[in-house]
Structure 1
Amino acid sequence: MSAEKSKNILERLGNGEVIIGDGSYVNTLEKRGYVLAGCYTPEASVENPHAVEELAIEYARAGADITQTFTFYSRDVGTPKDVKLTCLEINKASCEIAKKVSNKWGTIVAGGIIQTAAFKQTRDKNDVQAELREGLEVLIQNDIDLIIVEYFRNIVEMEWAIELALSYGKPVAATMCIGPKGDASGVSPAECAVRMAKAGAPIIGINCLFDPFIALETISKMKAGLDGAGLSPYLMCQPLGYRTPDGGSYGWIYLPEFPHAMEPRQVTRYECARFAREAYNLGVRIIGGCCGIESYHIRAMAEELAPERNCLPTASRKSDLDLSTLKEKEDKGRPEFKGKGCKDYWMNLVPCTGRPLSAPMFRQADPETVNPSVLN
């Protein structure tokens, strides 16, 4: 990654660049023993800054153009009982880590704000924006390059958040955590997209909760709405790293495996490559991941789009990109490598779980994407 590249994402998108986002922080750091499941708070930025920094470096090496700050809610709530750190202390440390990685790798520093407690409690615009403003203050003080208004499930709250974020004069990306059925109030993905664009967000899309291919279905509906309205913001898609065809309206959160047994649903690197290609063909130009998307998934996305990006990630030095290593072993007659030196083998593979009694899907009472009859 060249340190000379502009850190203005809108400038780079305007020049036709495809931007690769980073992946999971809270979920990955929980697996590594630095975050408590259930709390999901980023005190690791103070307690174990090396772990957060190393993960950010992993994503940059994998091809990510963006380094997100591992920051917190707006207020001092939710940390584990033995943590006495303030939200401000955590967020300040998180910004410092992201800036350090950015200075070395030339990445765009992005800070996010998410849905508020105030919206659930009062649904008052002033209350919502006041809470969001608290979360934005430390990001603005640290001069981040991009504000991501993400993980919103109601278009009204999203519109209020976009309005506030734009007031700081920074590039803004707005992503909702919705599936094909739309937001929490039943507003369609197409209408959500149109309203986000009309609210002024230059980048819109979705993040988290649903797997890459459900995300593609959702972003396709959003694009259709935008096309119909004659609107053309840049599109962004950062899906979940687990297969969730049987998830409810809150995606993976309504699955029985959440949060401690999701590994059998993990997407493969080739599924991520296929997602990246299909997203690009759909017109998405900021492509990354959310919970469950690891650095090797980001590398697969960046490698798949290397022709469009005119570069390979640093980490590709240790990637059997053309499968020549496996092909060489196959050519020597090694039966365990038969057919595995061909990309089509991996792109078309349907992985097994290795569990004879494993069900293909959960009998969700109200699945988001699967017809209930399939589960009966």
Structure 2
Amino acid sequence: MAPTAAKKGILERLDSGEVVIGDGSFLITLEKRGYVKAGLWTPEVVVEHPDAVRQLHMEFLRAGANVMQTFTFSASEEKLESKYFEIAEEAVWAVEVLKESGKPVAATMCIGPEGDKNGVTPGECAVKLVKAGASIVGVNCRFGPGVSLKTMKLMKEGLHAAGLKAHLMVQSLGFHTPDCGKGGFVDLPEYPFGLEPRTATRWDIQKYAREAYNLGVRYIGGCCGFEPYHIRAIAEELVPERGFWPPASEKHGSSWGSGLNMHTKPWIRARARREYWENLLPASGRPFCPSLSKPDF
């Protein structure tokens, strides 16, 4: 019997140019499913309803995710006011401690294009994290796909200017946030119970995945608001680069609505093409609502 081949580690995958797909939202998703109360949003569901957490992991896995992150947000014994890394100095401390484990360190900050709370630019944040020992750097949460990619571009430029190299990682919100300030979506008046009109479509996320890949990002995933179908959109968009379909899509192949070819309505059959969805400007159906809002801060 031949020995089982050793699994490749994350750095081995990234060093070879392989795309690594992260998972998505747990807090907001499990709140929507009725397992977690809004407020502190402590992951009490891990103890009280572990099957719900396990099921969501399975959904992200089936959708195409390679990495399952533990659901530990707000679960520290110290009950920290914020588990986010919004200050570069704090993130550097965390990297330095994690390096002692001998494991590869991925460090993502919760910042937008304006940088951290102390005015450190995204480029400077990336440089500090890499110098501290992080092999993978990037951003997570607080901002949507478009804004997060702007931040990633600034991080990449900062590393290039400093002559440093690192793998890039992005896990944006599953919501559109062009009108957010420095604090991101938590400052929006819609947070947390009125965000649904801002939800990204799967087609938005396919565009996000392609733009991230073209930018040089090889770890691509999501954060709050990212449902399994969003992760599947990433996996489907990057089939040419990955060479295979995710389990949730392999039966049907094409991700651009080819199944609509069998629809009984001719106008819906006409939508079975990529160009239709790429150029669609979806309506919200909310006639008296503004397109943007004013953050509280």
Alignment coverage as a number of residue pairs = 293
Residue type at the aligned position of 1:293 = F
Match for residue 57 of structure 1? Answer: 58
Unaligned runs of 5+ in 1: 79-115, 121-149, 367-376
1:363 positional shift? 2.4
1:60 positional shift? 0.4
The answer (yes or no) to whether the contact 1:8–1:171 under 8 Å persists in 2 is no
The runs of at least 4 aligned residues of structure 1 exceeding 6 Å deviation read none
1:326 aligned to 2:265? no
Match for residue 23 of structure 2? Answer: 22
Distance (Å, rounded) in 2 between the aligned partners of 1:186 and 1:59: 35
Match for residue 244 of structure 1? Answer: 177
Residue deviations 1:206-260 (CA, integer Å, cap 9, x gap): 0000000100111001101111111110000000010111112111101111101
Residue deviations 1:110-166 (CA, integer Å, cap 9, x gap): xxxxxx55xx9xxxxxxxxxxxxxxxxxxxxxxxxxxxxx83100011111110111
Match for residue 346 of structure 1? Answer: 277
Match for residue 196 of structure 2? Answer: 263
User: Structure 2 residue aligned with 1:355, among 278, 286, 297?
Assistant: 286
Distance (Å, rounded) in 1 between the aligned partners of 2:238 and 2:6: 18
Distance (Å, rounded) in 2 between the aligned partners of 1:292 and 1:192: 25
User: Structure 2 residue aligned with 1:199, among 132, 146, 161?
Assistant: 132
Q: Does 310-319 or 254-263 show the bigger shift?
A: 310-319
* Alignment RMSD (CA, Å): 2.0
Match for residue 72 of structure 2? Answer: 71
Distance (Å, rounded) in 2 between the aligned partners of 1:199 and 1:74: 25
1:323 positional shift? 2.4
Residues 261 and 7 (structure 1), Cα distance of their counterparts in 2 relative to 1, 3 Å cut: farther
Residue type at the aligned position of 1:248 = G
1:232 aligned to 2:192? no
Residues 185 and 34 (structure 1), Cα distance of their counterparts in 2 relative to 1, 3 Å cut: same
Match for residue 127 of structure 1? Answer: none
1:327 positional shift? 3.1
Match for residue 175 of structure 1? Answer: 108
SS of 1:288 mapped into structure 2: strand
1:9 positional shift? 0.6
The answer (yes or no) to whether the contact 2:41–2:74 under 8 Å persists in 1 is no
Match for residue 292 of structure 1? Answer: 225
Residues 253 and 13 (structure 1), Cα distance of their counterparts in 2 relative to 1, 3 Å cut: same
The answer (yes or no) to whether the contact 2:237–2:255 under 8 Å persists in 1 is no
The answer (yes or no) to whether the contact 2:22–2:68 under 8 Å persists in 1 is yes
Distance (Å, rounded) in 1 between the aligned partners of 2:15 and 2:90: 28
Residue deviations 1:253-281 (CA, integer Å, cap 9, x gap): 01111101111100000110000000000
TM-score normalised by structure 2 residue count: 0.93
Distance (Å, rounded) in 2 between the aligned partners of 1:281 and 1:171: 24
1:56 positional shift? 0.1
Residue type at the aligned position of 1:351 = P
Match for residue 34 of structure 1? Answer: 35
Distance (Å, rounded) in 2 between the aligned partners of 1:288 and 1:5: 25
Higher helix share: 1
Matches within 5 A, 1:125-204: 151-204=84-137
Match for residue 211 of structure 1? Answer: 144
SS of 1:67 mapped into structure 2: coil
Distance (Å, rounded) in 1 between the aligned partners of 2:117 and 2:44: 30
Residue deviations 1:285-313 (CA, integer Å, cap 9, x gap): 10000000000000000110011111110
SS of 1:66 mapped into structure 2: coil
1:340 positional shift? 1.0
Match for residue 208 of structure 2? Answer: 275
SS of 1:344 mapped into structure 2: helix
Residues 72 and 7 (structure 1), Cα distance of their counterparts in 2 relative to 1, 3 Å cut: farther
Residue type at the aligned position of 1:295 = P
The answer (yes or no) to whether the contact 2:42–2:75 under 8 Å persists in 1 is no
Distance (Å, rounded) in 1 between the aligned partners of 2:5 and 2:185: 39
Match for residue 91 of structure 1? Answer: none
Match for residue 235 of structure 2? Answer: 302
1:221 aligned to 2:222? no
Residues 359 and 338 (structure 1), Cα distance of their counterparts in 2 relative to 1, 3 Å cut: farther
SS of 1:205 mapped into structure 2: strand
Residues 365 and 292 (structure 1), Cα distance of their counterparts in 2 relative to 1, 3 Å cut: closer
Unaligned runs of 5+ in 2: none
Residue type at the aligned position of 1:48 = H
The answer (yes or no) to whether the contact 2:262–2:269 under 8 Å persists in 1 is no
The answer (yes or no) to whether the contact 1:6–1:12 under 8 Å persists in 2 is no
SS of 2:186 mapped into structure 1: helix
Distance (Å, rounded) in 2 between the aligned partners of 1:307 and 1:4: 25
